[in-house]
A and B are shown apart, each in its own frame.
Chain A
Amino acid sequence: MKLRIGLGSCGIAAGGLAVLDTLESEIKNRGLDLEVMNTGCIGMCHNEPLVDVIEDDGRVFTYGMVTDKIALQIMEDHVAGGNPVEEHLVSATDKPAAFMDGQVRVALRNCGVMDPESIDEYIKQGGYEALTKCLTQMTPEEVIEEVKISGLRGRGGAGFPTWFKWNATRQAKGDKKYIVCNADEGDPGAFMDRSALEGDPHGVLEGMIIAGYAAGASDGAIYCRAEYPLAIRRLEIAIEQARERGMLGSDIMGSNFSFDMYIKQGAGAFVCGEETALIASLEGERGMPRLKPPFPSESGYWGKPTNINNVETFANIPWIIREGGAAFGAMGTEKSKGTKVFALAGKIKYGGLIEVPIGIPLRDVIYKVGGGIKGDRQFKAVQMGGPSGGCIPAGYLDTPVDYESIMALGAIMGSGGMVVMDETTCMVDIARYFLDFTQKESCGKCVQCRIGTKRMLEVLERICEGQGKPGDIELLEELCVMVREGSLCGLGQGAPNPILTTIKYFRDEYEAHIHDHKCPAKQCKALIEYKIDKDKCTGCTICAKKCPVNAISGDKRQPHVIDEALCTRCGTCIDVCPTKFSAVYID
């Protein structure tokens, strides 16, 4: 028997380290000889901390939301007594969780299964077999051909064919060439790259080394955002281990091919995810994008041919080489092959990371895998593609999730972030939120982006504050065109998308804000009032005590009232009003 605990950032955030302590001390107290293995995130983040009990016959029992108390119970009943603790099981080998149903794991194949800090574990899972195959049996051209057969497209956003970029770098003239891994993952709401790096760092390294062989590069750099300290630490460990085993360094496996790499930490600028800005940042400059061409494959890092791919793109490579490009190409749709990882978050019941064949209907992602909306509320929209993406409304839930279909709706696949929204999310506020983001993150190089995003934000802010004017929607649409056309990189070009899609699908909400001074989702503070239903209020005084600005008054056991002039609309009263009364409402 073996225990396994998920210690990705999400597992640790949910209290995984305390559970690990409890398990370990309990093992010691009981004098057991039992290993507790660390692993990355399996994707069921909504159930963290997760503890697996792995029986000697290979059966896996997964416990969710484990607390110290539950950990002790698992030790007592299951480990010592042999009886699984049914009420805390979220999945078992013979009873898999619905969340995992329909998933196909390629990029995430090792996440949450093995110890990411052990190269031996990785090798046991078939790791570095693909590299061995490339170096001993395949020419670089054959490797590129295999990737071409797979149909793999870049997972960083634009969906450009990976083989094409590798080949362009290979064909480019240069005495030195580079492979860069884009681990800047700036899209707020996406975390697949973090999970892949934390859960399977060797998988990404192996993909990069293979790319180096194919493209004729000798050096690799991983540009990882500083907000991911655990990912950086695990990458450092993995690089060190790979060097020790001769998977990195000179003359790898006696093949005459030499390759080494290092990590550079990002410093907190979203635009540095754009490849030319990323290169500027790697070179120690302000991370500002430049016009393409020349593409990085011709002139990139230090002016040398450079191939940049996203983390998830690299993570797919070892699988493709091992299982064959055709096996990858057999999944997905005609134009979008393979699987894609999506990060499900927001108002979804089972949030986490999922990997599914490209082309499955949006409805299946949200209702089958994600379990539907939290609190069984009404689905309103899903935001895909982050700040350059858009909101897809309920009417399009049967759209297949692939690059072309999502683009046709005005959103983008992007890196695969899906933030789900319910009827309590205000779509004008969402547009305002994203413009606030792009306006802050604009590097300032293009006038239209720098000033245009600011003007659009101002208009959205005044609409949310109830100061919107007739004609504001048209003004926004006009500005959107200018910003899109006048911006050099994807940040400015995509910035209008959150506005355009919300106007397109939720125009009535904009109009309600502007003309009726109402926020239908009851979110915009200037347009709502908190009130107490005097028939329901029993005068329990809880809200009056908790109100941070003392805006609520009333005698004990008498209905209370909120002073509109004092109320800051913080929502504390509605949160603390006992559900059996539910006397506070928003008007």
Chain B
Amino acid sequence: MGCCCSQGDCNVGQQSGDNIALNLLDDVIAEYRGAAGSLIPVLQKAQDIYGYLPAEVIRYIGRQMDVKPAKIFGVATFYAQFRFSPVGKYLIMLCQGTACHVNGSEKIETALSEELNIKMGETTDDGLFTLNDAACLGCCSLAPVMMINGRAYGPLTPDKARSIIKDIYAKEKEAKEGVEQ
């Protein structure tokens, strides 16, 4: 799918190596166009759709909502929530809050890094997991805590963290084999 914005001279879609379906955004933009102060919710919904904020998407939003892309980049880079590169199917957010810190979140990070063979902030080669740090997840009395796709796990030990990852891998493998059969 190429670019779907209404302007004839637009070449945003073609600039991209991947095909990004910009028209997926049109409902969101229609909902918020003209509503003052709605840039952040639009970016949040865009990230929900694409998993991150591709440059093309930012430019498209700018054109559609009549905001300069520089301004959008300025806002988006201010907030930790916004990502500019794709993330894995499972987004692990490891809590770096105070309670988790004093209860050994560093050991959990080491265990996860080893198990997944990636460093903090990276994505596994198979595109399944991204490991990110997060501010306090609000489950401090279960520290150390991590959240995977919105669900919190705690209290963790290095072994428990490893086995949660292994379980997800196993589930993925099963699903894949199921499809192949």
CB within 8 Å for A284 and B140 given contacts A13-B154, A226-B44, A346-B103: no
CB contact between A346 and one of B36, B98, B145, B158 (< 8 Å): that residue? B98
CB contact between B78 and one of A13, A286, A570 (< 8 Å): that residue? A286
- A146 contacts the other chain (CB 8 A): no
CB contact between B81 and one of A268, A302, A430 (< 8 Å): that residue? A268
Q: How far is the CB of A567 from chain B (nearest CB, A)?
A: 13
- A285 contacts the other chain (CB 8 A): yes
CB of B153 within 8 A of CB of A188, answer no
Q: Using a CB-CB cutoff of 8 Å, which residues 123-181 of chain B contact chain A?
A: 134-143, 145, 147, 150-154, 158
CB of A227 within 8 A of CB of B137, answer yes
Question: Which A residues are in CB contact (< 8 Å) with B81?
Answer: 226, 266-268
CB within 8 Å for A191 and B98 given contacts A14-B154, A267-B79, A268-B80: no
CB of A188 within 8 A of CB of B135, answer yes
CB contact between B102 and one of A270, A283, A286, A421 (< 8 Å): that residue? A421
Q: How far is the CB of B87 from chain A (nearest CB, A)?
A: 14
Known: A185-B138, A188-B96, A226-B81. 18 other contacts (CB 8 A): A10-B141, A10-B142, A14-B142, A186-B136, A189-B98, A191-B138, A191-B140, A227-B93, A227-B135, A265-B44, A267-B43, A267-B79, A268-B79, A268-B81, A269-B80, A286-B75, A347-B102, A353-B141
A-B contact pairs, 14 of them (CB 8 A): A9-B138, A45-B139, A46-B141, A190-B140, A195-B138, A264-B40, A265-B40, A267-B44, A268-B135, A269-B78, A284-B39, A345-B141, A352-B141, A353-B141
CB within 8 Å for A45 and B78 given contacts A9-B152, A267-B44, A571-B107: no
Closest-by-CB residue of B relative to A192 is: B138
Q: Using a CB-CB cutoff of 8 Å, which residues 268-308 of chain A contact chain B?
A: 268-270, 281-287, 302
CB of B136 within 8 A of CB of A191, answer yes
CB of A186 within 8 A of CB of B150, answer no
Q: With the chains together, A9 CA to B152 CA distance in Å?
A: 7
Q: Using a CB-CB cutoff of 8 Å, which residues 57-113 of chain B contact chain A?
A: 74-75, 78-82, 93, 96-103, 107, 110
CB of A351 within 8 A of CB of B141, answer yes
Closest-by-CB residue of B relative to A44 is: B141
Q: How far is the CB of B159 from chain A (nearest CB, A)?
A: 9
- A129 contacts the other chain (CB 8 A): no
CB of B136 within 8 A of CB of A188, answer yes
CB contact between B98 and one of A13, A188, A194, A265 (< 8 Å): that residue? A188
CB of A188 within 8 A of CB of B37, answer no
Q: With the chains together, A34 CA to B80 CA distance in Å?
A: 45
Q: How far is the CB of A439 from chain B (nearest CB, A)?
A: 13
Question: Which A residues are in CB contact (< 8 Å) with B151?
Answer: 12-13
Q: With the chains together, A265 CA to B43 CA distance in Å?
A: 11
CB contact between B79 and one of A269, A343, A433, A572 (< 8 Å): that residue? A269
- List the 10 closest A-B pairs by CB distance, nearest first: A351-B141, A188-B97, A268-B80, A267-B79, A13-B152, A345-B99, A45-B141, A188-B136, A345-B140, A284-B39
- B121 contacts the other chain (CB 8 A): no
CB of A227 within 8 A of CB of B154, answer no
Q: With the chains together, A226 CA to B40 CA distance in Å?
A: 12
Q: How far is the CB of A189 from chain B (nearest CB, A)?
A: 4
* Residues 391-420 of chain A, each 1 if its beta carbon lies under 8 Å from chain B, else 0: 000000000000000000000000001010
CB of A229 within 8 A of CB of B102, answer no
* Residues 194-232 of chain A, each 1 if its beta carbon lies under 8 Å from chain B, else 0: 110000000000000000000000000000001111000
Closest-by-CB residue of A relative to B47 is: A267
Question: Which A residues are in CB contact (< 8 Å) with B26?
Answer: none
Question: Which A residues are in CB contact (< 8 Å) with B110?
Answer: 548, 570
Question: Which A residues are in CB contact (< 8 Å) with B142?
Answer: 10, 13-14, 45, 48, 351
Q: How far is the CB of A204 from chain B (nearest CB, A)?
A: 15
CB within 8 Å for A345 and B79 given contacts A190-B136, A228-B138, A267-B40: no
Q: How far is the CB of B117 from chain A (nearest CB, A)?
A: 12
Question: Which A residues are in CB contact (< 8 Å) with B135?
Answer: 186, 188, 227, 268, 270
CB contact between A284 and one of B40, B96, B107, B150 (< 8 Å): that residue? B40
- A187 contacts the other chain (CB 8 A): yes
Question: Which B residues are in CB contact (< 8 Å) with A430?
Answer: 102
CB of A13 within 8 A of CB of B40, answer no
CB contact between A282 and one of B37, B97, B102 (< 8 Å): that residue? B37
CB of A284 within 8 A of CB of B38, answer yes
- A383 contacts the other chain (CB 8 A): yes
Closest-by-CB residue of B relative to A272 is: B79
CB of B154 within 8 A of CB of A343, answer no
Question: Which B residues are in CB contact (< 8 Å) with A226?
Answer: 44, 81
CB contact between A419 and one of B43, B99, B147 (< 8 Å): that residue? B99
CB of B37 within 8 A of CB of A284, answer yes
CB within 8 Å for A281 and B139 given contacts A12-B151, A189-B99, A286-B75: no
CB of A265 within 8 A of CB of B41, answer yes
Most chain B CB atoms below 10 A, which of A191, A226, A227: A227
- A152 contacts the other chain (CB 8 A): no
Closest-by-CB residue of B relative to A425 is: B102
- A386 contacts the other chain (CB 8 A): yes
- A428 contacts the other chain (CB 8 A): no
Q: How far is the CB of B174 from chain A (nearest CB, A)?
A: 18
Q: How far is the CB of A347 from chain B (nearest CB, A)?
A: 6
Closest-by-CB residue of B relative to A226 is: B81
CB contact between A287 and one of B78, B96, B147 (< 8 Å): that residue? B78
Q: How far is the CB of A115 from chain B (nearest CB, A)?
A: 20
Q: How far is the CB of A424 from chain B (nearest CB, A)?
A: 9
Question: Which A residues are in CB contact (< 8 Å) with B96?
Answer: 188
Question: Which B residues are in CB contact (< 8 Å) with A270?
Answer: 135
Question: Which B residues are in CB contact (< 8 Å) with A186?
Answer: 135-136
Q: With the chains together, A195 CA to B152 CA distance in Å?
A: 14
Most chain A CB atoms below 10 A, which of B36, B110, B142, B153: B142
Q: How far is the CB of B1 from chain A (nearest CB, A)?
A: 28
CB of B98 within 8 A of CB of A433, answer yes
CB of A548 within 8 A of CB of B138, answer no
CB within 8 Å for A283 and B141 given contacts A269-B78, A269-B80, A346-B103: no
- A50 contacts the other chain (CB 8 A): no
CB contact between A572 and one of B82, B145, B158 (< 8 Å): that residue? B158
Q: Using a CB-CB cutoff of 8 Å, which residues 8-43 of chain A contact chain B?
A: 9-10, 12-14
Closest-by-CB residue of A relative to B75 is: A286
Closest-by-CB residue of A relative to B95 is: A188
CB within 8 Å for A189 and B140 given contacts A227-B135, A283-B36: yes
Q: With the chains together, A430 CA to B151 CA distance in Å?
A: 28
Closest-by-CB residue of B relative to A283 is: B37
Closest-by-CB residue of B relative to A185 is: B138
Q: How far is the CB of A8 from chain B (nearest CB, A)?
A: 9
